Amino acid sequence: MADDALQGVDMRWLAERVGTPFYVYDAAVVQARIDAITALTAAPGLQARYAMKACSAAPVLARMRAKNIWIDAVSGNEVLRARAAGYALEAAEPEVMLTTDVFRDNALEVVRTYGVLPNIGSPAMLRQLAAAGYHGPVGLRINPGFGHGHVHSCDTGGPSSKHGIWYDDAVRAAEAATRDGLTVTLLHAHIGSGPTVQEFSSNMQHLVDFFAECLAAYPQAQAVNLGGGIPHPYRPGAPTVDLDAFGQLLRTAQSRLSQQAGRAIRVEIEPGRYFVAPAATVVTRVTDVKRTHANSKGPGHTFVMVDAGFGDLVRPAMYGAFHQISVWHAAPEAATEPTIIAGPLCESGDVFTRDDAELLQPRLLPTMHPDDLVLIHDAGAYGYTMSSNYNSLGRAPQVWIDRGIPYLISRREIFEDLVRTECFSAL
């Protein structure tokens, strides 16, 4: 579990200092995952990017930059976060890439101002770039016709995915880009991790074969990006990816693609979840325990009410994601019972214990009482970054633990934060 390296940290003390709920990150776990990917991509011609949408906390970005892991951003503001962390947007190498399905807010302005590499997921975006005065290198995100995420609601490739330009249309898009003064220097596809480790491995090989077949149509391409999606084992006993085998696949791919192109082709990967998923835990406090009783509508349940909700961690409510749950300092011999962990929001879906069909799934957990601390593990990826102010609740604080020392890296939002942007002015 994510708190294994945090056994020396007094969660009760932290809870009293910053209040509940809060996120707590283990710097050692982040560093271990960074080191594993750095070793994986150590061969010439390989490069790792961090898909920072998974977790954009400043200490995470700082450690990525220290190990020369480049950035994949998905908004103009994520690009600016990378810049604030020290990434050189104007560097000769495309250290920061902007991959987005739609230009919105300041995205076009950021591309025009800093020359960050735009990775295009729709043909119209090429015309928008040219109209905005950008004439430079671009990436082309291609939908190869296959692939999907770790759950069925996360389709990242294939006919039901909104991401990328359909492979039959990609060459025409590249030709149109050339006419507008844009040069396709990178080919990209993200097909997701798939529901099993075996599917991830076979999909990655399939993706390499796909690029080997189409690379000749893009004579200016200097890099091929295989996307992210290295699975993280959220469930106990789930298999893990063989990184040695994956590294061999990447080295073989780089050699094969370079040989076919007749020039050096950089092969990139961009894991996000893998870097940070196990590094964070949501700590929440039990406020009450209540029970329903069986009737003609169904069985009764024990509901443990906690102060964290899907505004803090939305993955279980959004797509039935599984997170291990434990009780802080519960005795090994403590009595257990089937339990539903439910939050404070005015929504029936504000429940952390669901199955992959998003139905209630009680967990066998120690019997709990008000003021107990509940730990929701593996919350580092798409946890805080997807949190919200639903019900006008402030976002939880984030605590970073480095060598046993806790640092507050974002405070709890208060009422003034929520209304700061509100106004009533004539347009």
Same domain, yes or no, for 268 and 387? no
Residue 405 lies in a domain: yes
Residue 83 in contact with residue 89, Cβ under 8 Å? Answer: yes
Q: Tokens representing 407? A: 């640092």
Same domain, yes or no, for 376 and 298? yes
Total-model pTM: 0.93
Domain that holds residue 318: 277-419
Parallel, antiparallel, or unpaired: how do β-strands 280-291 and 302-306 relate? antiparallel
Distance of alpha carbon 67 from alpha carbon 347, whole angstroms: 42
Question: Which of 79, 74, 221 is CA-nearest to residue 138?
Answer: 221
Residue 13 lies in a domain: no
Which pLDDT score, from 0 to 100, does residue 154 have? Answer: 46
Which pLDDT score, from 0 to 100, does residue 298 have? Answer: 86
Secondary element (H or E) of residue 304: strand 302-306
Which pLDDT score, from 0 to 100, does residue 1 have? Answer: 42
What is the rounded end-to-end Cα distance, in angstroms, of the chain? 52
Q: Which of 247, 273, 299 is the last residue of a domain?
A: 273
Residue 1 lies in a domain: no
HEC readout, 312-347 = CCCHHHHHCCCCCEEECCCCCCCCEEEEEEECCCCC
Which pLDDT score, from 0 to 100, does residue 323 have? Answer: 96
| Strand partners for 375 | 283, 326
Instruction: For Cα atoms 220, 53, 373, give the angle at the middle one, nearest 5 degrees.
Output: 160
Residue 92 lies in a domain: yes
C-alpha separations of 294 from 291, 300, 301, 302, 354 in Å: 10, 4, 8, 11, 19
Same domain, yes or no, for 383 and 401? yes
Distance of alpha carbon 389 from alpha carbon 313, whole angstroms: 12
CATH (domain of 116): 3.20.20.10
Same domain, yes or no, for 223 and 336? no
Distance of alpha carbon 341 from alpha carbon 379, whole angstroms: 16
Secondary element (H or E) of residue 138: strand 137-143
Residue 183 lies in a domain: yes
Q: Which of 273, 298, 319 is the last residue of a domain?
A: 273
Distance of alpha carbon 39 from alpha carbon 243, whole angstroms: 9
Same domain, yes or no, for 159 and 290? no
Contacts of 42 (CB under 8 A, 6+ apart): none
Kindly provide the b/e burial profile for residues 110-142, where b requires at least 16 CB atoms within 10 angstroms of the residue's own CB. bbeebbbbbbbbbbebbebbbeeebeebbbbbb
Residue 280 in contact with residue 319, Cβ under 8 Å? Answer: no
Residues designated as active site: 346
* Average pLDDT, 10 consecutive residues per value, the chain (427 residues): 63 97 98 97 97 98 98 97 94 92 95 94 94 94 75 56 89 93 95 75 92 95 94 92 95 97 97 96 98 91 97 95 95 94 95 86 96 98 97 98 96 97 95
Contacts of 318 (CB under 8 A, 6+ apart): 153, 310, 386
